[in-house]
Amino acid sequence: MKRAFWIVAGCLAVAIAAAVLWPRTDLGQSRYFPNQMYHHLALRAFGEIPYGGADTGEVLATLRHIRAGDSESWFAAWHNTAERVSSVARASRDPISRGRALLRAHDYYRSAEFLLDSNDPRRPETWAKNTRAFYEGLEALQVRYERIVVPYGSHHLNAIYFQGGPGSESRPLILGCGGFDSTMEELYFTIAAGALERGYSVLVFEGPGQGSVLREQGLTFTPEWEMPTRSVLDAFLAGHPKPPHIVFVGMSFGGYLAPRAAAFDTRIDGVVAFDVLFDMAEVGRRATPANALLERLVRMGWLDTADGLIRFGMSRSPDLKWAVTNALWTFGLRRPSEVQAAFVPYTLKDVAKDIRADVLILAGARDHFIPLEQVAQFERSLTQARSVSTTIYDEESGGEEHCQDGAVTLWQMTLFDWIDAKFAASVGRAAG
């Protein structure tokens, strides 16, 4: 009897221990990769789904071929998917199926190119396939758009105007730009398509440091973003009626660029930091290990030593490697030790007080790029703004990541409710 008791007791103890200590295998996962950069980029691909830039099955089929930290596996997986979807698109006789597949192929080519070095010979070819698929997709779907070449000194910028339907001329014009790594074409999925279905016209553009302006003309970022913005608006208004209001949405690094432009251009009535970016130098400091030591080495002129330490960090961190190499390319720098100093002018500290527009600040509670305290810093600096509204998305909302990756319909709800509240007169006239 005692033996039976101890057998039963032992079995119960094992069962209880297993229930407490054994990892649960029946719960879903919220991450696609343990590495934050690869997880962020996977979410970014999923985020294109609502407006036709990706499909769930295709994204999942691609991700299973990728090893986090292996940029070659990243390129191969996305490029293979893009080639397959592009081929399927061009074999389709149905224009809607063809157009949708081409837009997905465009975004898969964009994803493939993302982690390549700036001088990788595969980059120009992939970029050409990317843009070709995008515009062929718009044509197949009969999306109304106009490409605008904007004079900019001895160079030019590029813009796309998506004209809304009847009544759109009485609504605010939504102006949009990307940031540190996004493209003008990608803004169709994040901003333009959602605005079009709500009756707004949209003007998106690429400035120095972005898209084909960087790739084909070699123009790198300028902190004085009011200059490209002014050129784009001047060129647009020279051939189109003046809208009742202009709302400028800046994505990612555009969370600095759009507010900066609004501080100098009174034609901008509303500005949206999607997401907040008050001080780029602080972002750089937090992203770089041993930053205080590196800054001291740079001040002492020990640049080779600083470069060596940064490159060592890059060899251990895919996130740091991408951030530094992309900064070298988009800012036109020669060595890693120059990056932090190049970020310093990109702050709203001294210009936010000159913004007199309505301001919407968005932020993710777990944004891995931008420290959350930059929300309060920006709010305190907006002393002359007509109004300031802030939304911070938590984990339960699904919008906690940078630029609400994977939750495009969530942040758009905030955006369009805010536009309706701040510019109700023109929105109401168009709706009527």
Q: What is the mean pLDDT of residues 147-151?
A: 97
**What is the rounded distance in angstroms from the CA atom of residue 3 to the CA atom of residue 330?**
75
Residue 19 has pLDDT above 80, yes or no: no
Q: pTM score > 0.75 for this model?
A: yes
pLDDT tens digits for range 199-257:
999 999 999 999 999 999 999 999 999 999 999 999 999 999 999 999 999 999 999 99
Give the integer Cα–Cα distance in Å for 224 and 265.
12
Higher pLDDT, 182 or 6: 182
Chain centroid, CA 251 distance in Å:
5
2 confidence band (pLDDT: 50, 70, 90): low
Rounded-to-integer distance, Cα 125 and Cα 395, Å? 38
CATH assignment, 36-131: 1.20.1440.110
80-103 confidence digits (pLDDT tens): 999 999 999 999 999 999 999 999
Q: What is the overall mean pLDDT for the chain?
A: 91
Mean pLDDT in residue range 169-180: 96
Q: If you write DSSP's letter for every residue of 404-428 in order, what string do you get?
A: GTT-HHHHHHHHHHHHHHHSHHHHH
Model pLDDT for residues 301-359, shown as the tens digit of each residue: 898 998 899 999 989 999 999 999 999 999 999 999 999 999 999 999 999 999 999 99
Average pLDDT score over residue span 178-193: 95
pLDDT band at 430 (very low <50, low <70, confident <90, very high): very low
**What CATH number does domain 144-279+346-431 carry, 3.40.640.10, 3.30.365.10, 3.40.50.300, 3.40.50.1820?**
3.40.50.1820
Task: Find the helix or strand (DSSP H, E) in which 75 lies.
Answer: helix 71-91
Residue 141 CB: number of other CB atoms within 10 A? Answer: 15
d(CA 20, CA 23): 8
Give the number of other CB atoms < 10 A from CB of residue 346: 22
Q: What is the pLDDT of residues 355-376, one digit of tens each?
A: 999 999 999 999 989 999 999 9
Neighbours of 314 (CB within 10 A): 17
Query: How many other CB atoms are there within 10 angstroms of residue 170's CB atom?
Result: 18
Select from 230, 343, 325 the least CA-distant residue to 283: 343
Digit-coded pLDDT (tens) for 22-69: 455 566 777 888 888 899 999 999 999 999 999 999 999 999 999 999
Domains of the chain, residue spans: 36-131, 144-279+346-431, 288-341
d(CA 55, CA 370): 28
Q: How many CA atoms lie within 13 A of 11 on its CB side?
A: 5
Q: What angle do CA 204, 210, 213 make, to 5 degrees?
A: 90
* Per-residue pLDDT, 18: 47
Residue 5 has pLDDT above 70, yes or no: no
**In CATH terms, are 36-131 and 144-279+346-431 the same topology?**
no
| Residue 254, token pair as written in the block | 């555009």
pLDDT band at 292 (very low <50, low <70, confident <90, very high): confident
- pLDDT of the residue at 432: 40
Tokens describing residue 271: 């500005």
With a cut of 80, say whether residue 196 has pLDDT above it: yes
Please report the pLDDT score of residue 74 as a whole number.
96
For the cut 50, the answer to whether the pLDDT of residue 431 exceeds it is: no
pLDDT of 411 = 97
Q: Which two tokens stand for residue 355?
A: 């913004």
